[in-house]
Homo-oligomer: A and B are copies of this chain.
Amino acid sequence: MERSLIDSIAAALPAGGSRVVRGVGDDAAVVRSGGALCVTSVDAMVEDVHFRLSGEHSSSPREVGWRALAGALSDLAAMGARAGEAYIALGVSAAVGEKRALELVRGALEVAAETGTVLAGGDVVSAPVLTVCVTVVGWAEEEAELVGRDGARAGDLVGVTGLLGGRPRRPIPRLREGRALAQTGASAMIDISDGLAVDARHLGEGSGVRLEVELEKLPLDEGVPDCEQAATAGEDYELCVCVAHADRARAEDALRAVGGAQITWIGRVLSGSPGVSLRRGGREQLLRGFEHRW
Q: A residues near B, CB below 8 A?
A: 1-2, 4-6, 8-9, 12-14, 16-17, 19-20, 23-24, 28-29, 31, 33-36, 38, 40-46, 48-50, 84-85, 87-92, 97-98, 101-102, 105-106, 109, 113, 116, 118-129, 131, 133, 135, 137, 139, 141, 292-294
**A42 interface neighbour in B16, B23, B38, B123, Cβ under 8 Å:** B123
A91–B137 contact, CB under 8 A?
no
7 example contacts (A-B, Cβ-Cβ < 8 A) are as follows: A2-B124, A5-B92, A5-B101, A5-B102, A12-B109, A42-B133, A128-B128
**A84→B19 CA distance, assembly (Å):** 9
Q: Which residues of B have CB within 8 Å of A14?
A: 109, 113
B20–A85 contact, CB under 8 A?
yes
Q: Which residues of B have CB within 8 Å of A119?
A: 13
A121–B40 contact, CB under 8 A?
yes
A29–B125 contact, CB under 8 A?
no
Interface centre among A1, A6, A33 (most CB of B within 10 A): A33
B42–A125 contact, CB under 8 A?
no
**A48→B31 CA distance, assembly (Å):** 34
A31–B292 contact, CB under 8 A?
no
B133–A40 contact, CB under 8 A?
no
Nearest neighbor of A104 in chain B, beta-carbon distance: B9
Q: Would you give the shortest CB distance from A46 to chain B, in whole angstroms?
A: 5
Q: Which residues of B have CB within 8 Å of A141?
A: 34
Nearest neighbor of A35 in chain B, beta-carbon distance: B34
Q: Which residues of B have CB within 8 Å of A118?
A: 16-17, 19-20, 23
**A5→B127 CA distance, assembly (Å):** 14
10 further A-B contacts with Cβ under 8 Å, apart from A8-B102, A42-B135, are A20-B120, A23-B118, A31-B84, A34-B35, A40-B120, A42-B122, A42-B133, A44-B125, A46-B91, A128-B129
**A29 interface neighbour in B6, B23, B120, Cβ under 8 Å:** B120
Q: Which residues of B have CB within 8 Å of A19?
A: 84-85, 118
Q: Would you give the shortest CB distance from A100 to chain B, in whole angstroms?
A: 10
Q: Which residues of B have CB within 8 Å of A5?
A: 90, 92, 98, 101-102, 124
**A133→B122 CA distance, assembly (Å):** 10
Nearest neighbor of A116 in chain B, beta-carbon distance: B17
Nearest neighbor of A43 in chain B, beta-carbon distance: B123
